[in-house]
Amino acid sequence: MSRALAMAVVGLAWIAGAAAAQQTLTLQEAIALAQGQGLAAQAAASAREAERWRDRAFSARRLPQLSLEGIVPSINRGITPVFRPDGTTAFVSQREMQSSLNLTLSQQVTPTGGEIFVSSGLTRLDVYGEQESRLWQSTPIVLGIRQQLFRSNILRWDDREQDVRAELAEQVYLEAREDVAIATANAFFDVHAAEMGFQNAAANAAINDTLHLLNTGRYEVGKIGENDLLQSELAVLRARTSLDGARLERARAMAELKRLTSLPADAEVTIVVPAAAPDVAPDTAVAVAQALRNRSQMRSLELDEITARRQVSEARLNTGFGMTVSATAGYNQTAPIFDDAYRSLLDQQRLTVAVEMPLVQWGGRRAQIQAARAEEDRVTALSRDRRAAVEQDARFAALQLPLARRQLATSAKADTVATRRFDVAKNRYIIGRIDIGDLYIAQSEKDAALLSYVEALRSYWLAYYRLRRLTLYDFEGARPLVP
């Protein structure tokens, strides 16, 4: 009794282990696995994360920057010419060491393209030789500004481009996820088609074996000719060859699905095909509007247009008259003693106005401007063409989904009819009412109808996910896609 109980426990444990090892996978679960742990999805997530960090770095550069610069030390030893009052020159040996530190707080001003800063510095100079000396120079505080005039504002153009790049990265990531969904759905239905093909090939092989045995008996009693027997034998051989090919194709398709979903190669997986297709009738106007709003291609075109306008601005402003204004105001002092360098501070002001005015350019400035404008016209024309292509793709993708659903219903009905017709033809052949040629015609039509149904099912779901990819919009939930 105890031995029987032990054997029962072992049997139950084996069944439980087999059930745990066997994994069922629906289409949505396969896509979720591929988007969550697939290598392609991980690569897309890493690309988006890298772009997010670049955007944070760009934003950080727009905040006040605190920096410390120093020379510790600079040593100079050599012979230096000294001009005397009598007009002669003497060469004297010189040894000196200079050290300095400067702390600066700066802020870029995006609306004007300039920079304001506050700095504080200290310098020490030691001179060695016959007359040794030490000198401290302090600049406790200095306020300054640097501003270019009549020049293209680089900071403002960088800001515009970076805003679009940040949006572009998010949309590219969403499109990459939908690309993974399409690839996974295609692989999923590859497995389904291979499984259905294998089952159909196995059924055909069994039926043809049975029919061959039946035909052998009929031939022996003289009811059929040798030609029909040979045709039956040829059908058996073809069915066995098709079965071997279907078995290999099923293994290949399953291996591809496991690769996309990052499942172990030795995992036992059984797919569960969706019982019903979602009844979605997308509005073409909504599809076009969402595609224009969400597609990364539209952000890429916007970035190209901004870059083209920037090139025109730079060609027009940076090659003509320009000025750079630098101004500082603060306090400084020098003394041989460190403490005295911060006493009785003296005012310090500095103003620099640098002017750049090209006189002769031999038409170079005009040529650069015309080239930039021609590039802007090219980008504008290309943007209009690509915008029209985006609208067209979204419109026809929305029209394709209901059509694919109708074709799926028709294929399902045709598969049912063809299967029923083959069953009737098989039964009629067994009782001798039709010849073998009509039976194999019915079998071929059954196989073709099954293949057509499987492909129609694949086409519907690919059309469903392609519409999501082209619009980044969930028509079933009536909301934009989010990561």
Do residues 243 and 347 share a domain? Answer: no
Do residues 49 and 136 share a domain? Answer: no
If one counts the domains in the chain, the total is 2
Query: What digits encode the pLDDT tens for the residues 7-38?
Result: 333 343 433 344 445 689 999 999 999 999 99
Q: Which residues contact 185 (CB under 8 A, 6 or more apart)?
A: 27, 30, 31, 458, 461, 462, 465
Q: What is the pLDDT of residue 30?
A: 94
Q: What is the mean pLDDT of residues 260-264?
A: 92
Do residues 75 and 200 share a domain? Answer: no
Count of CA atoms in the C-beta half-sphere (13 A) of 347: 3
b or e along 97-128 (b: 16 or more beta carbons within 10 Å of the residue's beta carbon)?
A: bbebebebeeebeeeebbbbbbbbbbbbbeee
Whether the per-residue pLDDT at 130 is higher than 70: the answer is no
Q: Which two tokens stand for residue 146?
A: 């640097």
Which pLDDT band holds residue 281 (cuts at 50, 70, 90)? confident
Q: Which two tokens stand for residue 36?
A: 């969550």
Which pLDDT band holds residue 223 (cuts at 50, 70, 90)? confident
Least confident segment among 206-215, 329-338, 366-375, 415-424: 206-215
The reported pTM is 0.84
3-state secondary structure of 189: helix
Whether the per-residue pLDDT at 3 is higher than 60: the answer is no
Which pLDDT band holds residue 290 (cuts at 50, 70, 90)? very high
Q: What is the mean pLDDT of residues 262-286?
A: 88
Do residues 446 and 415 share a domain? Answer: yes
Do residues 407 and 290 share a domain? Answer: yes
In a domain, 370, yes or no: no
State the Cα–Cα distance between residues 227 and 217, nearest whole angstrom: 14
Query: What digits encode the pLDDT tens for the residues 381-402?
Result: 999 999 999 999 999 999 999 9
In a domain, 195, yes or no: yes
Do residues 282 and 210 share a domain? Answer: yes
Q: Taking all residues of the chain, what is their mean pLDDT, rounded to a whole number?
A: 89
- For a pLDDT cut of 90, what percent of the chain falls above it? 66
Q: What is the mean pLDDT of residues 319-325?
A: 93
Do residues 37 and 121 share a domain? Answer: no
In a domain, 5, yes or no: no
Residue closest to 200 by CA, chosen among 372, 445, 468, 26: 445
Query: What digits encode the pLDDT tens for the residues 412-434?
Result: 999 999 999 989 988 888 887 88
In a domain, 121, yes or no: yes
Q: What's the domain range around 471?
A: 23-54+159-305+379-480
Do residues 414 and 432 share a domain? Answer: yes
Query: What digits encode the pLDDT tens for the residues 94-118?
Result: 788 999 999 999 999 999 999 999 9
b or e along 379-400 (b: 16 or more beta carbons within 10 Å of the residue's beta carbon)?
A: beeebeebbeebbebbbebbeb
Do residues 419 and 475 share a domain? Answer: yes
State the Cα–Cα distance between residues 5 and 8, nearest whole angstrom: 5
In a domain, 4, yes or no: no
Q: What CATH number did the domain enclosing 44 receive?
A: 1.20.1600.10
Do residues 286 and 396 share a domain? Answer: yes
In a domain, 348, yes or no: yes
Q: What is the pLDDT of residue 2?
A: 40
Do residues 75 and 129 share a domain? Answer: yes
3-state secondary structure of 46: helix
Q: What is the pLDDT of residue 22?
A: 66
Q: What is the pLDDT of residue 87?
A: 77
In a domain, 374, yes or no: no
Q: What is the pLDDT of residue 473?
A: 93
Which one-letter amino acid corresponds to residue 61? R
Do residues 177 and 253 share a domain? Answer: yes
In a domain, 350, yes or no: yes
State the Cα–Cα distance between residues 203 and 116, nearest whole angstrom: 83
